[in-house]
């Protein structure tokens, strides 16, 4: 079974621009979560989508948004980029079964550099 | 607030040494616990997980972890490390049925041949 895939793998943007990152979950997985990884803050939860609805949200500003499509693929968008948004953005997928134990599997990440 | 603490930031060991990495959590409700590993240039991989039952869980590559509820700990162990275990190790927790993972700051493990 193919793992979680993320595109693009690397991205360079300038301050003020916006960016869209894409994630395809493992086949059969319906939940997609996004995390930001930086040397200073570590791994932080951004949000989670299940059945095209945001189910969980972390403590990030409204510039960070996401969506999920009917095939469970997900995108996250960051508008008005700031230097501090430079990070590795990780996507994770899981079966998303309500009320059950959850195991997330991670993709390789998209490394975003904001200049 | 929910939190996960890893007190060892960088551990350096020689091959064949025994390993124990500490992880403490602060979580209300039923907690699920995980150890993930990130090898250089690779993505996060699940080493092992604890949901319920036997507090001693075994994972891949000879790793194991013990859930001690009274100490709010979930330490990772390996009896004999190899050079290929050089990586960053992350402890993580979530509430039962919740997708949101809270990660510790990670422990960088360097194995000297």
Q: What is the DSSP string of A35-66?
A: EEEETTTEEEEEEEEETTEEEEE-S--TTEEE
Over residues A89-109, the pLDDT tens digits come to: 999 999 877 666 788 999 999
Q: What is the mean pLDDT of chain B?
A: 94
**CB–CB of B99 and A48 under 8 A?**
yes
Contact at CB, A103 and B46, closer than 8 angstroms: yes
Min CA distance, B52 vs chain A (Å)? 9
Give the mean model confidence (pLDDT) for residues B10-24: 97
DSSP state letter for A25? P
Which residue from B24, B2, B20 is spatially nearest to B11, judged by alpha carbons?
B20
> Is B88 within 8 Å of B107 (Cβ atoms)?
yes
Q: Within an 8 Å CB–CB cutoff, is residue B27 touching chain A?
A: no
A94-98, B8-12, B30-34: least confident range: A94-98
Min Cα separation A37/chain B (Å)? 10
Residue A60 has pLDDT above 90, yes or no: yes
pLDDT for position A101: 73
Q: List the single residue in B with minimal CA-CA distance to A5.
A: B43
Contact at CB, A94 and B99, closer than 8 angstroms = yes
- B97 at the A interface (CB within 8 A)? yes
Q: Tell me which chain B residues have a C-beta less than 8 angstroms from the C-beta of A105.
A: 46
């Amino acid at each position: 079974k193919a793992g979680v895939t993320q595109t693009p793998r690397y991205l360079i943007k300038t301050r003020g621009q916006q960016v869209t990152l894409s994630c395809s979950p493992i086949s059969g997985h319906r939940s997609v979560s996004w995390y930001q990884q930086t040397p200073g803050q570590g791994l932080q939860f951004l949000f989670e989508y299940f059945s095209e609805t945001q189910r969980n949200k972390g403590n990030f500003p409204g510039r960070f948004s996401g969506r999920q499509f009917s095939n469970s693929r997900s995108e996250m968008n960051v508008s008005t980029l700031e230097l501090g948004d430079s990070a590795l953005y990780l996507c994770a997928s899981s079966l998303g079964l309500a009320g059950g134990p959850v195991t997330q599997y991670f993709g390789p990440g998209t490394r975003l550099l904001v200049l | 607030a929910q939190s996960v603490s890893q007190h060892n930031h960088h551990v350096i060991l020689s091959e064949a040494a025994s390993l124990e990495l500490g992880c403490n959590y602060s979580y209300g409700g039923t907690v699920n616990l995980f150890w993930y590993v990130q090898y250089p240039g690779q993505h996060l991989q699940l080493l092992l997980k604890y949901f319920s039952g036997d507090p001693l869980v075994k994972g891949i590559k000879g790793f194991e972890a013990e859930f001690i509820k009274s100490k709010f700990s979930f330490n990772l162990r390996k009896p004999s490390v190899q050079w290929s275990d050089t990586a960053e190790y992350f402890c993580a927790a979530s509430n039962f049925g919740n997708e949101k993972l809270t990660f510790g700051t990670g422990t960088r493990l360097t194995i000297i041949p």
